[in-house]
Structure 1
Amino acid sequence: MGIHVLRNLSGGNMSEQVPLFLAPMAGVTDVAYRLLARESGADFTSTEFTAASGLSRKDAKSWAKVETHPRESPFIPQIFGGIEDEMVETAQLLSKDADVIDLNFGCPAPKVTKTCAGAAMMGEPENLVRMVERCLENSEVPVSVKMRLGINQETLTVLEIAERCAELGVLRVCVHGRTLSQKYRGIADWDMIAKVVEVCEPHNTPVIANGDIVDADSAAKCLEVTGAQGLMIGRGAIGDPCIFGRIKSELGWEDFEAPWGDSNQAGQKHWAWNRYVELVDEIGGPYAARNMKQHAISFTKGLPGGRELRPHLHAIKDFRLIGEPLNIALEAFSQRRHNTLMVQEAIEAAATASEAGGWRR
């Protein structure tokens, strides 16, 4: 699937397959997890959203967030920032290796918005559009944008901003159906995303819908309401990368050959966790495993005994040792040897790992 494929899609409905995107998320979409999502059915993935300020001053940890792998194509780094010149410089730097550069105007985190970056930019349409225009002018590759509806219900700027970005020639527009003030509360406004689709259609600019897509039913309903040309899944894919394959299979979009076979959802998580650990080992380097503990905690959520197991996982200081205790718990539960993740063997393995001390680089 090429990076420009969305230009020719006619719109979403329940019977027509559209691309599925893994949303860029800090502390989640590291290289290994992006590769895992691809193997699990995602069509497009993006890096963790990364500060242009760190990238422009060559900060090593910032650049680690935008590393890629030969199997990740297209490569889409996402950046955020409130200073126009930093965003432009970073777009220039990244365009040497990226296939697409995505600009974040959707993050509601206070540490981002306090610098007038992320979703805070939705309150400054002129500055946002000028930033997009300059990034387009200075990037060697296409530029896409991700945004929210506006600052609050009284200032819904998304239609103006999305249309102007489409006029400038962005590759696609992704819209999360909430405002900055909502953060993740309430219900995503898919009707407003449908209006974004309408204003972008004359410019042949695809719109990707984001927000409250958690399974095949919600995916189908979102497409029915919005007419979007793609779906982006964020929180629904945390600890459950197999959501992409399930949506494709359950909606009959394609003959998706699931690498987890006919396993139930617990079995899918067991397969996915072990595959993530394998990918972390394959990628190697000092940063590959940095999100492993956070992912391990996420994989336990929604499963019986997960809440009780999590303190045992939290106690493991060397996050490279967290793989086996969770593997034991997921295997026993998915194979129905136990009806909970609180398996004695897993608890003992976690205790042994926690006694091993921390990781010193």
Structure 2
Amino acid sequence: MVKIGNLEIGEFPLLLAPMEDVSDPPFRAVCKENGADMMYTEFISAEGLIRDAAKSVQKLDIYDYERPIGIQIFGDKIESMREAAAIAEQAQPELIDINYGCPVKKVACKGAGAGILKDLPKMQKMTEEIVKQVNLPVTVKTRLGWDHDSIQILEVAKRLQDVGIQALTIHGRTRQQMYKGEADWSHIAEVKNHPDIHIPIFGNGDIDSPQKALEYKNKYGIDGIMIGRAAIGYPWIFREIKHFMETGEIMAAPTLEERIDTCLRHVKFSVEWKGDRQGIFEMRRHYTQYFKGMINFKPFRTRLVEAMTLEDIIQILDEVSEYYALNENVL
């Protein structure tokens, strides 16, 4: 059983990655019901929390059905991160996660996210202060290093473990790579299998199928897998991986009815939580994956992306259902 502090999260947990404008409560809801063992909020700006910025505070919303869940924070100032951790703790998550991995220029080039990989003493001090501040377990998500010439992930893991983090998730790319190229899990395995490392190590990067998940579990010996982009519009990835690991069989793809039902519940919750305009806008990235592989779907996808009201989306999804019911041969 994998434990983060005293929190048990399964024999080989599947974690939903924190993704900006993706990992919100509506998306987490459909991932949870499809087998995600541990989830995280979108990353939240420490400065935003301290200043009570509406967008940052809203991201603290968590629901009982999501548990266990971690709140992820990012920032470049130690004192601000310490204060933000205290605020996040009041929302009563199961843990506090620190983002030391975001590669986006506006974050990393200001010394936050993956930017702190250029300053390991500061990373260590910041983490230590957050661990001291809260009574919850503290975990970290990071990358291999800033670039290929500065991969120090084993040193990072040792330092962070020394100051008290309870688990570490490693994305198998450097900041310089962003999301390009293939993730290198050999460095993740080096950390996991080092005799000085005793906290859970989770791998992240490129897991997009049940077969690959099992292969990487066996090959690299990690404690669990964090899944990000492969879950966007396809929350069934979690149950499919679990089914394959348990039985060795490929699970049947979700039915059209299930795709429509899940998409509809997702968009309704999105509108309810973020309002019509933002809720509908942020759903657009999900439609392609929700209906991936369906012949003749492109015109419907175009209309869904262009739809401006929930009523329009419901109408289009009704038409999708009718069209494929009458044209079963194109499914």
Tell me which interval the TM-score lies in, with the shorter structure as reference length.
0.7 to 0.9
Structure 2: gaps (5+ residues): none
CA-based RMSD: 3.0
Per the normalisation by structure 1, the TM-score is: 0.81
Distance of aligned partners of 1:124 and 1:279 in 2 relative to their CA distance in 1, 3 Å threshold: same
Which of 159-168 and 309-318 deviates more?
309-318
Q: Is the 8 A contact 2:300 2:316 kept in 1?
A: no
Match of 2:155 among 152, 160, 179: 160
The structure-2 alpha-carbon separation of the partners of 1:334 and 1:272, relative to structure 1 and needing over 3 Å to count, comes to farther
Judging changes above 3 Å, is the alpha-carbon distance between structure 1 residues 296 and 170 closer, same or farther for their aligned structure 2 residues?
A: same
Q: 2:320 is matched with which residue: 324, 329, 332?
A: 329
Residues 203 and 150 (structure 1), Cα distance of their counterparts in 2 relative to 1, 3 Å cut: closer
DSSP-derived class of the 1:68 partner? coil
Superposed displacement of residue 108, structure 1:
0.9
Alignment of 1:135-154 (within 5 A): 135-154=130-149
Q: 1:76-120 CA deviation, whole Å, 9 max, x = no partner?
A: 111111111111100011112222010001111112112211111
1:26 maps to a residue whose letter is E
Q: Is the counterpart of residue 295 in structure 1 residue 290 in structure 2?
A: no
What does 1:185-204 align with in structure 2 at a 5 Å threshold?
185-199=180-194, 202-204=196-198
Matched to 1:225, the amino acid is: K
**2:259 is aligned with what amino acid?**
K
Query: Secondary structure of the equivalent of 1:205?
Result: coil
> SS of the residue aligned with 1:173?
strand
Structure 1 alignment gaps of length 5 or more: 10-15, 341-361
Amino acid corresponding to residue 155 of structure 1 in structure 2: S
TM-score of the aligned structures, taking structure 2 as reference length: 0.88
Structure 2 contact 103–178 (Cα < 8 Å) conserved = yes
Counterparts of 1:6 and 1:299, CA distance in 2: 38
CA contact (8 A) 1:100 1:143 kept: yes
Stretch moving more, 330-339 or 222-231 = 330-339
Determine which structure has the larger strand proportion and give its number: 2
Secondary structure at 1:144's aligned position in 2? Answer: strand
Contact 1:191 1:225 in 2 (8 A): no
1:127-146: CA deviation from partner (whole Å, max 9, x where unpaired): 11111010001112111000
Change (3 A) 1:74 1:225: same
Q: Which amino acid aligns with 2:4?
A: H
Match of 1:275 in 2: 265
Instruction: Specify which of 27, 30, 42 is matched with residue 33 of structure 1.
Output: 27
- Correspondence 1:215 to 2:215: no
Of stretches 184-193 and 318-327 in structure 1, the one that deviates more from structure 2 is: 318-327
- Structure 1 position 269, deviation (Å): 2.8
Counterpart AA for 2:180: R
Count of aligned pairs? 326
- Alpha-carbon distance in 2 for matches of 1:330, 1:84: 52
Aligned-pair CA distance for 1:311: 3.3
Aligned match of 1:104 in 94, 99, 104? 99
